[in-house]
Amino acid sequence: MANDVWVYIEHKDGVITPMSFELLGIGKQLADGFGSSVCAFVIGDKVDDLAKEAGAFGATKVYAVEGEVFKGFRGEAYAKAAAFLLEKYKPEIALFRATSMGTDVAAAAAAQLGFGLCTDTIGLAVDGGKVKMTRAAFGGNYSVSVVNEKAAPQIATVRPKAFAMGEKDASKSAEVVKESFALADADLATKVVEFIKSATAVNLVEADIIVSGGRGLGSDAGFAMLQELADLLGGAVGASRAAVDSEWIPYEHQVGQTGKTVKPKIYIACGISGAIQHLAGMRTSDCIVAINKDPDAPIFKAASFGIVGDYKEIVPKMIEKFKSKLSR
Amino acid sequence: MKIAVCLKQVPDTEAEIKWDIPKGTLSRDGMDSITNPFDEFALEEALLTKENYDGEIVAISMGPEGAADVLRNALALTVDEVALCTDDAFAGSDTYSTAYVLAAAIKKAGDVDVVFTGKQSTDGNSGVVAAELAAVLGFAPLTYVSKVRSIDAAGKKIVVERAIEGGTEVIEAKLPAVVSVIKGINEPRLPNLMGIRKASKIEIPKWSAGDLGVDAGKVGAAGASTKVVEIAVPPPRGAGEILKGEIEEIANTITDKLIDLKVIK
Ligand SMILES: Cc1cc2nc3c(=O)[nH]c(=O)nc-3n(C[C@H](O)[C@H](O)[C@H](O)COP(=O)(O)OP(=O)(O)OC[C@H]3O[C@@H](n4cnc5c(N)ncnc54)[C@H](O)[C@@H]3O)c2cc1C
Ligand SMILES: Cc1cc2nc3c(=O)[nH]c(=O)nc-3n(C[C@H](O)[C@H](O)[C@H](O)COP(=O)(O)OP(=O)(O)OC[C@H]3O[C@@H](n4cnc5c(N)ncnc54)[C@H](O)[C@@H]3O)c2cc1C
């Protein structure tokens, strides 16, 4: 239906990535603004369980494309199916997660159809009969609001954690509309040969707690200490570019303008000065703790709590206190 | 093999950014500009590909006339050809119209086998032009590439590694392909003085909307679907609290405060 708000259900190994439910939450709010419905769309080799779960999280209708060719994940194939559904039903807006998977599908579908695209959205609201999308630009130093000037649909990718999860109600279910979309392997230019799981699966973007280190750590041994704190709290380890450039930790841990943009509930920055390019990647974290020897370090201006001192003294003490207070 | 590389000129992060608020665009005059940091990796990968597999490189940029600087820099690193897509009609393009113009330029450049781009720009930050470009051209989309394993131009095949959430995906694709690269895929080289001197004398070819044969209704502000309606500086974070005292006391306070947030499970 026109004006409906569509949410793309991202899944991996048969399980919906939890953040897809955030999209159903904000999708519902937008649909209420339009007096329309929030619908989900899902593409995969088997979609029934996924569709059911999307219904429990508030989707009123689930549009699905199913087929053997969608086994595993292949952005190219998923994008073609997504474009087919969006073209056919023309919702007001389609929301995807701003992950590598979500972004690839959203971008290719948008380009195939010539639709407007706003990426890494952190704010969504109905304004004057249109969706106003707010995103960070210029490395987070500015926030920019955009609207679609052309006919709907609009496509937006949404930053993980930008919105609260929708509520689950197992008694709710959605009507499932299965569409057939024929796609053969021969129609595709890409083939996944293998997937090598990362030994240290870092999922900074989805972590609620990040313990990050910079040049001030002095060596890779410092990161072992931060890892211990992160493990204790169920968090992940981040880093500044200076630490990555020193080869104390791999690039996938880098936070900032040329690394990952994160928004955890707690960000603990150790030995990081707070350069504008680092702040760009973490300044919207809920609570920032800065530990730095230099009382004038710019990081303190962004910190909720500042501790002036040597991380080598403070972090072990924090580990000790957490262990006893959390009885771990 | 014909290799294309897309280079965007962006304002230097250290520079003060000026906005043209009514137009919702960056006002690029008088700002220090650099090559988008990610595009330096794309350029280096193009150079390595040329060295390893033979071929020629065309570097393409869309932007105002000043963007010729990024192409001059590429010339100093011995790319074979450059083209600056510049036309008043391109101003205010969105990501789709950018991809559409770059696609037209790549077609004009000849039978391109592989296009390298950066993962993302540091100004617009969208990170989608590569995927859109692949869709417009009908090329294989290969994004977030951390390693090019092999290219077989005769067999029209490429194998790459992509760094995505949770690990590395190995993909085999048919050529032609668009490859967007992440930081760390290589170590970008610097131009030498002789290269710079030589490049400074080369005239940069300019391609207008007419030269590219693009539909004027699909480019620039006229073609853009998304329009910027508001630009704001995010509110500064409230001044925080500096915890004072002995280490023992500070550690006690901070752990209490963090536990009180009820985030630690
Ligand atoms: C185009 C561009 C993109 C960039 N992208 C990024 C990016 O994505 N991410 C990023 O982080 N940076 C990025 N940078 C780099 C950025 O400008 C800074 O150089 C970098 O963030 C500095 O890292 P740092 O804070 O770890 O190091 P420094 O600035 O050297 O700070 C180290 C800090 O540690 C403190 N310290 C020293 N010893 C101790 C100790 N024992 N205990 C406690 N504190 C101590 C010092 O007081 C100092 O404040 C980028 C730069 C450019 C030009
Ligand atoms: C503040 C602001 C907000 C914006 N919001 C939106 C929006 O919501 N939606 C939208 O569609 N557009 C938006 N734009 C416009 C968009 O940024 C431009 O169209 C831009 O030309 C392409 O997007 P990007 O820089 O984000 O590229 P990315 O997708 O981040 O760039 C990826 C790669 O593509 C290549 N590339 C990109 N642009 C060029 C170029 N001009 N020349 C050569 N190679 C290039 C480079 O290799 C680059 O590394 C916005 C622009 C600004 C300044």
Is residue B254 in a domain? no
Per-residue pLDDT at A326: 92
pLDDT digits (tens, 9 = 90+) for A6-51: 999 999 888 898 888 889 999 999 999 999 999 999 999 999 999 9
Is residue B241 in a domain? no
Is residue B145 in a domain? yes
Overall number of domains in chain A: 2
Is residue A201 in a domain? no
CATH number (domain holding residue A293): 3.40.50.1220
Tell whether omega for the bond before B236 is within 30 degrees of 0, i.e. cis: no
Q: Does A187 touch chain B (CB under 8 A)?
A: no
What are the tokens at A220?
């890779």
pLDDT digits (tens, 9 = 90+) for A95-151: 999 989 999 999 999 999 989 999 999 999 999 889 999 998 776 778 899 999 888
Is residue B228 in a domain? no
Q: Does B188 touch chain A (CB under 8 A)?
A: no
What does pTM read for this prediction? 0.88
The mean per-residue pLDDT over the stretch A211-234 comes to 96
In a mutational test of the pocket of ligand 1, which residue from A204, A223, A241 has the highest number of ligand atoms less than 8 Å from its CB?
Answer: A241
Count H helices and E strands in chain A, helices first: 9, 17
**Residues A173 and A218 reside in one and the same domain:** no
pLDDT digits (tens, 9 = 90+) for B84-114: 999 999 998 999 999 999 999 999 999 999 9
**Residues A224 and A175 reside in one and the same domain:** no
Q: Does B250 touch chain A (CB under 8 A)?
A: yes
**Residues A219 and A175 reside in one and the same domain:** no
pLDDT at residue B19 is higher than 70:
no
Is residue A182 in a domain? yes
**Beta pairing partners, A143:** A136, B232
**Residues A26 and A157 reside in one and the same domain:** yes
Q: Which value, to the nearest 10 degrees, does the dihedral of the CA atoms of residues A255, A256, A262, A263 take?
A: 120
ipTM of the prediction: 0.87
Is residue B99 in a domain? yes
- Cite the DSSP H helix spans in B110-167: 129-137
Please say whether the beta carbons of A139 and B122 come within 8 A.
yes
Report the candidate in B226, B64, B11 with the shortest Cα–Cα distance to residue A141: B11
Is residue B262 in a domain? no
Its domain, for residue A75, covers: 5-187
**Residues A141 and A174 reside in one and the same domain:** yes
**Residues A265 and A181 reside in one and the same domain:** no
Q: Please give the residue that has the higher pLDDT: either B83 or B34.
A: B83
Please say whether the beta carbons of A36 and A175 come within 8 A.
no
Overall number of domains in chain B: 1
Is residue A203 in a domain? no
pLDDT at residue B16 is higher than 60:
no
Is residue B264 in a domain? no
Most confident range (mean pLDDT) of A172-176, A195-199, B79-83, B237-241 is B79-83
Tell whether omega for the bond before B191 is within 30 degrees of 0, i.e. cis: no
**Residues A229 and A262 reside in one and the same domain:** yes
Q: Which value, to the nearest 10 degrees, does the dihedral of the CA atoms of residues B21, B25, B27, B33 take?
A: 150
pLDDT digits (tens, 9 = 90+) for B124-136: 889 999 999 999 9
CA of A278 to the centre of ligand 1 (A): 7
- Express as a percent the part of chain A with pLDDT over 90: 73
Its domain, for residue B75, covers: 2-223
Please say whether the beta carbons of A255 and A282 come within 8 A.
yes
Strands A61-66 and A175-179 come out as parallel
**Residues A136 and A232 reside in one and the same domain:** no
CATH number (domain holding residue B64): 3.40.50.620
**Residues A215 and A175 reside in one and the same domain:** no
Is residue A202 in a domain? no
Report the candidate in B205, B191, B222 with the shortest Cα–Cα distance to residue B89: B222
**Residues A180 and A231 reside in one and the same domain:** no
In a mutational test of the pocket of ligand 2, which residue from B18, B87, B95 has the highest number of ligand atoms less than 8 Å from its CB?
Answer: B95
CATH number (domain holding residue A15): 3.40.50.620
User: How close, in Å, is residue A152 to chain B by CA atoms?
Assistant: 9
What are the tokens at A203?
């999922």
Is residue B44 in a domain? yes
State the residue for tokens 């630490």: A243
Is residue A114 in a domain? yes
CA of A281 to the centre of ligand 1 (A): 13
Would the CB atoms of B123 and A138 count as touching at under 8 Å? yes
Q: In the structure, what pLDDT confidence band is assigned to residue A1 with cuts at 50, 70 and 90?
A: low
Please say whether the beta carbons of B83 and B205 come within 8 A.
yes
Is residue A297 in a domain? yes
Distance from first CA to last CA of chain A, Å, rounded? 53
Is residue A199 in a domain? no
The kind and range of the H/E element at B33 are strand B33-35
- Cite the DSSP H helix spans in chain B: 37-53, 68-76, 95-109, 129-137, 193-200, 209-212, 220-223, 247-260
A311 lines ligand 1 (CB under 6 A): yes
Q: Please give the residue that has the higher pLDDT: either A203 or A204.
A: A204
Would the CB atoms of A75 and B141 count as touching at under 8 Å? yes
**Residues A220 and A95 reside in one and the same domain:** no
Which residues in chain A are closer than 8 Å to B115, comparing Cβ atoms?
A: none
Question: DSSP secondary-structure letter at A167?
Answer: P
Is residue A200 in a domain? no
pLDDT at residue A163 is higher than 90:
no
**Residues A11 and A155 reside in one and the same domain:** yes
